[in-house]
């Protein structure tokens, strides 16, 4: 259930980022012009991003732990941008998916996605029973 919630939040965050025209981050749907295809594409990209973030992101964070300490965590911006760029590269093989024009715009988009995920994580966090 948590994975499905994570995918929906990622899809929403990616959709919000694509609404900002200056970032040059776009999502190409399965079939142009249909809302359902755009939603399904966003959910698929959100699922791929969640899987990439879970598997590859964990390995990168473990290996780069000394860099996290040296940079006081600022390397996480670059790592998140790399993971988003990797998601765009994986979906590039199909005629649909995420497109990022520049790596640094991807880093900024990943920062915005992280902030949106953080906000929804606070809202949807399970409450402890007293």
pLDDT tens-digit readout, 93-115? 888 889 999 888 889 999 999 99
Domain enclosing residue 45, as ranges = 2-104+114-123
Q: Where are the alpha helices (DSSP H) in 1-130?
A: 2-18, 35-63, 65-70, 75-91, 103-123
Looking at the structure of the chain, the number of domains it has is: 1
Model confidence at 128, pLDDT cuts 50, 70, 90, reads low
* Residue 130 domain flag: no
28 pairs with which residues across the strands?
Answer: 97
**109 domain-assigned:** no
pTM: 0.86
């Amino acid at each position: 259930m948590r994975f499905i919630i994570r995918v929906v939040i990622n899809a929403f965050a990616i959709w919000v980022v694509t609404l900002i025209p200056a970032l040059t981050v776009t999502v190409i749907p399965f079939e142009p012009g249909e809302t359902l295809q755009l939603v399904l594409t966003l959910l698929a990209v959100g699922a791929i991003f969640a899987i990439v973030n879970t598997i590859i992101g964990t390995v990168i964070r473990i290996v780069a732990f000394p860099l996290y300490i040296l940079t006081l965590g600022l390397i996480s911006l670059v790592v998140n941008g790399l993971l988003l760029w990797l998601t765009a590269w994986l979906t590039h093989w199909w005629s649909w998916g995420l497109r990022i024009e520049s790596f640094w715009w991807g880093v900024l988009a990943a920062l915005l996605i992280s902030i949106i995920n953080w906000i929804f994580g606070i809202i949807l966090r399970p409450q402890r029973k007293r």
